Amino acid sequence: MPLQSDDPADTSGGLPGTAHPPRAAAGLTWVQGTALYIGAVLGTGVIALPALAASTAGPASLLAWLALIGLSIPLAATFSALGARYPDAGGVATCVKLAFGPYPAAVVGWCFLFAVPVGAPAAAMFAGAYVQAAIGGGAATLVLTAFALVLGVTLINAFGVTLSGKVQVVLAALLVTFLVIAVSTSLPHARLANLHPFAPHGWLAVASAAGLLVWSFAGWEAITHLAAEFRQPERDMPKAAAVAVFVVGVLYFAVAAATVLVLGPAAGATRAPLALLLAFGFGGQVKILAAVAALLLTAGTMNAYLAGASKLGAALGRDGALPSWFAHGSEAGGVPRRSLVSLSGLTLVTLAATELAHAHVEALVLMTTGAFVIVYILGTAAALRLLAPGSWGRRAAVLALIFDVLLLATTRLYLLWALGIAACALMYTRLRRRKRR
């Protein structure tokens, strides 16, 4: 399905406040946009979730991977079309506001914004587990690695999205190269016998695995918050999304298939499947190399999400969905340092609380998934209302909305956390509007 915008010449769509703002020549290119997409979507999911999914559903988890890869195509098409036509730091929240008004927009904005301080610690701990396995040091190594990642990515974004975009190109190139090497060197050890039994935990376990894997494919909506930073969003965003969706789909399934076919029953017993794949490919101890790759993958994901979420926080402050103090840096080319520092602070607090409470990282993953499912449902519904009938973006939104509703069942009780965020967003917006009157 082509990932193209709807009538690039019509930037307003007949709605107020949707004209493209002026952008500096130093904005993001489509190559940097592709790297941000790859980092946001590919990221940490590939270093841990193939093993978690195999533990949940066995070899049948490959069906969940295929389903989520198929879902990513209409999601990428929908959100790239929205970002190209309505480039604004508010991203999906801005589009939902245009389609349905301020209250649903506040729900989307808060769900995305507060999912990041919950998801980022999980991502950082995935990488920390690799570093711990490589150099030892127990839980202290894991936690210190996670803290260092949060602070490092925050520092990069403090200098603006142009710098973070350049850094992301390097990270994306390195991680793609590493994954190709890991898969290609381990595949000679693949055994078809490892596909049996195919569904040892029953077919319903495939749905449970899909709930975990939503984490792996979250990210197509994140770059909409950076749409106004592109030099030509109506051209560059769909192009970047098209390249990224192909690269991400191929690499994800390749790693998942290698994990099942090469590692066999051991796939579900490890938290560092890439390290084992490299050990099969090269022999001996390759834990240091795997740790470096995990750090690169995690840094890429966190860089993309903090960049997008910090711009969103500034836009929510500008639009009254958050205190106006956060509005600094919401304009194209602006650096939303207040929003960025606040997000980083919440991430560090969540990370510390998770470690002190000895909480399972899977819980953080599913809490993040629950929040993103709400973002997806309202975002694709907005696309149905805003995008032109018959356009590729609108057709993609129909498919995406169907899949999004089905994903609700995979989040189970963890959806309650997201609904709590939505309730707080509605209460704050109502009180703010009443105060203004």
In terms of Cα–Cα distance, which of 192, 263, 246, 204 is closest to 61? 204
Q: Is the pLDDT of residue 10 over 60?
A: no
Whether the per-residue pLDDT at 148 is higher than 70: the answer is yes
Measured distance CA(110)–CA(96) in Å, rounded: 13
Which pLDDT belongs to residue 164? Answer: 60
| Token couple for 274 | 């890439």
3-state secondary structure (DSSP) of residue 230:
strand
Element (H, E) at 247: helix 233-263
∠ CA 309-313-316, rounded to 5°:
135
By the 10 Å C-beta count (0-12 exposed, 13-18 middle, 19+ buried), 22 is classed as exposed
Percent of the chain with pLDDT over 90: 11
CA nearest neighbour of 198 among 68, 70, 62, 51: 62
Q: What are phi and psi of 230, to 5 degrees?
A: -75, 150
> Which runs of E-coded beta strand occur in 309-390?
none
For residue 233, the 8-state DSSP code is H
Q: Is the pTM of this model over 0.85?
A: no
Question: Is it the case that residue 44 has pLDDT exceeding 80?
Answer: no
Query: What is the Cα–Cα distance from 408 to 280, expressed in whole angstroms?
Result: 38
Q: What is the pLDDT of residues 342-382, one digit of tens each?
A: 999 999 998 888 888 777 777 787 788 888 888 889 999 99
The least confident of 27-36, 144-153, 242-251 is: 27-36
* Domain 30-436 superfamily per CATH: Amino acid/polyamine transporter I (1.20.1740.10)
pLDDT-wise least confident of 69-78, 82-91, 404-413: 404-413
- Confidence category of residue 284, pLDDT binned at 50, 70, 90: low
Q: Which residues contact 188 (CB under 8 A, 6 or more apart)?
A: none
Q: Per-residue pLDDT tens for 299-352?
A: 877 877 888 888 888 888 888 888 888 888 777 777 888 988 999 999 999 888
Q: Which of 50-64, 94-108, 157-171, 222-236 has the lowest mean pLDDT?
A: 157-171
The model's confidence at residue 275, banded by pLDDT at 50, 70 and 90, is confident
Closest CA to 396 of 78, 49, 21: 78
Mean pLDDT of the chain: 80
Cα distances (angstroms) measured from residue 408 to each of 52, 207, 377, 383: 20, 11, 9, 19
> If pLDDT is split at 50, 70 and 90, which confidence band does 2 have?
very low
Amino acid at 109: G
Which pLDDT tens digit goes with each residue over 413-423? 778 888 999 99
Q: How confident is the model at residue 105 (pLDDT cuts 50, 70, 90)?
A: very high
